[in-house]
Amino acid sequence: MNNWAYRPAWTQLALRKDLVGLEIGVAKATNAHFILSNLDIKKLYLIDPYFDQSDEFDNSGERPYAEGTKHPDAEEIARRILKNFEYKVKWLISTTEEIINKIPDESLDFCYIDGDHKYEAVKLDIKLCLLKVKVGGVLGGHDFCDDHKSVVKAVLESFNRNQLFCGNRDWWIIKK
């Protein structure tokens, strides 16, 4: 399933034009395809290292990744699915930490975090993305839910409750 109700963070951007954004954690590009098909995107950066971490567990014993994201051909599938949008997509094949500085500070209308779901990784993604999003832009992510307590903890620690919106498994803030 992938639609406006499943990913409510995107409703914040539905009426904005010429968006420049970033998704961290692309996998088979289900969400990237949704973004490109439904929002007015000028440029979409996509960060994913595409290495196999399917056996990893975080400190709490949770799997840091959603089920089914470790398809061995994920990168190939993603590139095929996004073929018609190639001219708008800038692939950054590495971890967030290693590659996000290719993106200028304060240049993004949105950033959606759905990569490494471990606590420290989400905290770091939030810190790095805050530098890249413009004032008035949307910073959010996925898997804000009981199955991913590490994500919930990292998000709640990073923002005041009165800044934070959530719906379904999405969370987001508008950068002030």
Ligand X SMILES: C[S@@+](CC[C@H](N)C(=O)[O-])C[C@H]1O[C@@H](n2cnc3c(N)ncnc32)[C@H](O)[C@@H]1O
By CB under 6 A, name the binding residues for ligand X.
23-27, 30-31, 47-50, 53, 65-66, 69, 74, 95-96, 114-116, 121
Query: What is the spatial distance between Cα 74 and Cα 83, in angstroms, rounded to a whole number?
Result: 14
Q: By C-beta, is 109 or 125 nearer to ligand X?
A: 125
- Shortest Å distance, C-beta 30 to ligand X: 4
Q: By C-beta, is 148 or 175 nearer to ligand X?
A: 148
Q: By C-beta, is 50 or 85 nearer to ligand X?
A: 50
- Shortest Å distance, C-beta 57 to ligand X: 14
- Shortest Å distance, C-beta 116 to ligand X: 4
Q: By C-beta, is 17 or 98 nearer to ligand X?
A: 98
Residue 141 φ then ψ, to 5°: -175, -175
- Shortest Å distance, C-beta 102 to ligand X: 13
- Shortest Å distance, C-beta 73 to ligand X: 12
Q: By C-beta, is 20 or 74 nearer to ligand X?
A: 74
